[in-house]
A and B are shown apart, each in its own frame.
Chain A
Amino acid sequence: MSEKENQLLVDKPLEFGGLSFKSRLLVGTGKYKDLEETGAAIETSGAEIVTVAIRRTNIGQNPDEPNLLDVISPEKYTLLPNTAGCFNAKDAVRTCKLARELLDGHDLVKLEVLGDQKTLYPNITETLVAARELIDDGFKVMVYTSDDPIVAKELEDMGCVAVMPLGSLIGSGMGICNPYNIRIILENANVPIIVDAGVGTASDAAIAMELGCDGVLMNTAIAAANNPVLMASAMKKAIEAGREACLAGRMPRKLYASASSPIGGTII
């Protein structure tokens, strides 16, 4: 290996939709104790892309209550409004249009059209309809989907800027349940593949990155930890470690031992 190649590799940025990011960790802002904890955890995570939900403003409540966007400033972070809670294409498209108006023409969205309350598994038929409509309307669509490689490819071909298969069910913390499907998705992909949902702890995030994923999006794994700020720090390191391990290329698995110390020159 030449001296140049031997240097620590400087990773290329995560790029999609004409945007470029150093961090490969994307984080949500839900389920935190309060806005202060939200801000601290997200700052610590080093994430540059931060998801938010769009909801009806509570009429008649204290209009001076703190606003999420005061803590997660659109000037500092790339906001990724989601369509969480939408169970059909029509509602998801409406939500994205409201988000675009709310964020002054910002056209990057996380599309998720859910199938049922119990699993929050994506409804793929509705997801495909919504993705088509949003892309035609000029949105840059990052799409939450199942780990079905055929669907992932279809969403890419349609023009989604990033495809985001689940590792396991949203908020389940069950990790990457089908790494083989994620591998197949990665082999065929020409857009970033970002695992969205299912990560429970740092090793899950590292596994996703070691598989070759371009990033990981998580919320509950940080927000529902006993110490969310410390978990945010752990996740930052896990994403970086997993990415570096992927780039470094792991050793092959072997059935039998292979001595690390030389055989020759022993005193026996």
Chain B
Amino acid sequence: MIEIHLNGEPKQVKAASISELLDELGLAGKRLAVEYNLEILPKSEHQETRLQPQDKVEIVHAIGGG
């Protein structure tokens, strides 16, 4: 387990990559976008991006808004 900052909160995760993180959170295949240490992480790089302790990960989706 490592600790990362996920959506602004500390979180212990087993995942070793962004793809595994999305699996672990039950979010694989959902319409979402990932920011990794303040940079946009294209979907094509989810698998190869390895998680390190204290990484900052933001996962966002679309909701209702004006």
Q: Which secondary structure dominates chain A's binding surface?
A: mixed
* B6 part of interface (Cβ distance < 8 Å): yes
In the complex, per-residue mask of A44-79: 1 if CB is within 8 Å of any chain B CB, else 0: 000000011111110110010001110000000001
Is B59 engaged at the interface, CB distance under 8 Å to the other chain?
A: yes
A61 (CB) vs chain B CBs: closest residue: B26
Asked if B66 contacts A102 (CB within 8 A), the reply is no
- Surface stretch bound by B, among A30-38, A151-159, A251-259: A30-38
A38 and chain B: residue at smallest CB distance: B64
C-alpha gap A100/B42 in the complex (Å):
10
CB atoms of A68 and B59 under 8 A apart: no
**A170 and B66 contact, CB distance less than 8 A:** yes
Are A56 and B58 in touch, CB under 8 angstroms? yes
With beta carbons under 8 angstroms apart, the residue of B26, B30, B65 that contacts A52 is B65
The interface size of chain B toward A, counting residues with CB under 8 Å, comes to: 28
Q: Does A200 contact B (CB under 8 A)?
A: no
Q: In the bound complex, how far is the Cα of B62 from the Cα of A97, in angstroms?
A: 13
Quick check: B62 and A81 within 8 Å, CB to CB?
Answer: yes
Looking at chain A, what size class is its interface with the partner chain? 35 or more
Distance A69 CA – B58 CA, assembled complex (angstroms): 19
Question: Does A220 have its Cβ within 8 Å of any Cβ on chain B?
Answer: yes
Q: Which residue of A lies closest to B31 (CB)?
A: A69
A30–B65 Cα distance when bound, in Å, is 4
Q: Are A57 and B27 in contact (CB under 8 A)?
A: yes
Q: Which single residue of chain A is at the shortest CB-CB distance from B58? A: A56
Say whether B64 contacts A102, CB under 8 Å. no
Contact (Cβ within 8 A) A98 B64: no
**Would you list which residues of chain A between 1 and 49 have a CB under 8 Å from chain B?**
28-32, 38
Q: Which A residues contact B (CB, under 8 angstroms)?
A: 28-32, 38, 51-57, 59-60, 63, 67-69, 79, 81-82, 84, 94, 97-103, 170-171, 197, 217-220
Question: Other CB < 8 Å A-B pairs besides A84-B65, A98-B33, A219-B66, 16 of them?
Answer: A29-B65, A32-B64, A53-B64, A53-B65, A54-B61, A56-B60, A63-B27, A67-B31, A68-B62, A68-B63, A68-B64, A69-B61, A94-B38, A97-B35, A170-B66, A220-B66
